[in-house]
């Protein structure tokens, strides 16, 4: 039994990494998926091809989620293809790291623009449709589900990454405020807080055995995460199995948020 049968899902930034895994996991559960990308048509087409090869439905649509006109066009294209939206996964995100005093305004604005403003713009468009259409009982008990891709850095401060940590802290209260405001419309809004997951965004942190060993000192469960770990969590949060979960961040991090430094000290 497919848990998301017939539902239309948009996964932003799904041409690689966590987004690609989430798109494939949702499709495997029967969702029709819009694979959004900003700069990598090849990656997005590969995700679409993989989904189709397994009997699923997907299309690739280009849009930079930090730009309002591009987001509006993304939703138009989604509605042309699938008529509606049931699931939004606000996944698109990036890092532009630097020491705080070297951080340029441009890098600050790019990170806040994609990671935070992009989530606002996409969630606003999805919520409008959820409210207008309401619950379709054959598909889900909820009128719509929004899943924000946050990070352990919505709670863990991160030197050298002030723009990124600020964007994820912002996502936390954006998510909770939306959840509070939209709940009466039967819309559920939750976040996933991934820890260190093996993707291109943090290649330096796991690529060599030395880097991986150092990273593992921050992960009590003693393995680096796989994008599929996040795909499984996204399916659960999008499905009716989590129908009473609203306004929560589900950390999928092997215990990174458990203050591992205190395992032997304190």
In the complex, least distance from residue 18 CB atom to ligand BGC, rounded to whole angstroms: 9
First to last CA, the chain: 48
Find the binder of ligand BGC among 25, 115, 151, 246 (CB under 6 A): 151
Which C-beta is closer to ligand BGC: that of 144 or that of 225?
Answer: 225
Q: Does 152 participate in binding ligand BGC (rule CB under 6 A)?
A: yes
Q: Does 162 participate in binding ligand BGC (rule CB under 6 A)?
A: no
Radius of gyration for the chain, computed over Cα atoms and rounded to the nearest angstrom: 18
Among the residue ranges 23-31, 172-180, 195-203, 232-240, the one whose residues contact ligand BGC (CB under 6 A) = 195-203
Long-range contacts of 160-166 (CB under 8 A, 24+ apart): 160/97, 160/98, 160/99, 160/100, 161/95, 161/97, 162/100, 162/103, 163/96, 163/103, 163/107, 163/108, 163/111, 163/112, 164/95, 164/96, 164/97, 164/111, 164/115, 166/112
Find the binder of ligand BGC among 103, 131, 183, 205 (CB under 6 A): 205
Find the binder of ligand BGC among 32, 139, 153, 188 (CB under 6 A): 153
Q: Does 166 participate in binding ligand BGC (rule CB under 6 A)?
A: no
- Exposed/middle/buried for 156, CB within 10 Å: 0-12, 13-18, 19+? middle
Among the residue ranges 27-35, 57-65, 113-121, 145-153, the one whose residues contact ligand BGC (CB under 6 A) = 145-153
Q: Does 191 participate in binding ligand BGC (rule CB under 6 A)?
A: no
Residue 23 belongs to what H/E stretch? helix 17-28
CB 22 within 8 A of CB 14: yes
Which C-beta is closer to ligand BGC: that of 30 or that of 260?
Answer: 260
In the complex, least distance from residue 202 CB atom to ligand BGC, rounded to whole angstroms: 3
Residue 164 bears catalytic tag: yes
The 86-115 contact track toward ligand BGC, x by CB under 6 A, reads ---------x--------------------
| Per annotation, catalytic residue among 82, 164, 221, 244 | 164
Q: Does 198 participate in binding ligand BGC (rule CB under 6 A)?
A: no
Q: Which of 149, 41, 165, 176 is nearest to 88 (CA)?
A: 149
The residues that are catalytic are 164
């Amino acid at each position: 039994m497919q848990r998301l049968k017939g539902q239309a899902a948009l996964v932003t930034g799904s041409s690689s990494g966590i987004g690609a895994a989430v798109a494939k996991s949702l499709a495997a559960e029967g969702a029709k998926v819009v694979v959004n990308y900003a700069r990598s048509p090849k990656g997005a087409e590969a995700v679409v091809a993989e989904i189709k090869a397994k009997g699923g439905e997907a299309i690739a649509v280009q849009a930079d989620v930090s730009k309002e006109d591009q987001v509006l066009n993304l939703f138009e294209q989604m509605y042309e293809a699938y008529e509606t939206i049931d699931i939004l996964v606000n996944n698109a995100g990036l890092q532009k790291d630097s020491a705080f005093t070297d951080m340029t305004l441009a890098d600050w604005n790019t990170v806040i623009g994609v990671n935070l403003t992009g989530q606002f713009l996409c969630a606003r468009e999805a919520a409008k449709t959820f409210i207008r259409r309401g619950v379709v009982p054959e598909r889900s008990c909820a009128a719509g589900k929004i899943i924000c891709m946050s990070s352990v850095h919505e709670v863990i401060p991160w030197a050298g990454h002030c723009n990124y940590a600020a964007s994820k802290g912002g996502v936390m209260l954006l998510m909770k405020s939306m959840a509070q405001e939209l709940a009466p419309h039967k819309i559920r809004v939750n976040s996933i807080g991934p820890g260190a997951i093996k993707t291109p965004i943090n290649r330096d942190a796991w690529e060599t055995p030395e880097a991986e060993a150092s990273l593992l000192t921050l992960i009590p469960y003693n393995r680096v995460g796989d994008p599929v770990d996040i795909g499984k969590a996204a399916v659960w949060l999008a499905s009716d199995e989590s129908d009473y979960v609203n306004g929560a961040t589900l950390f999928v991090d092997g215990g990174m948020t458990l203050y591992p430094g205190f395992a032997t000290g304190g």
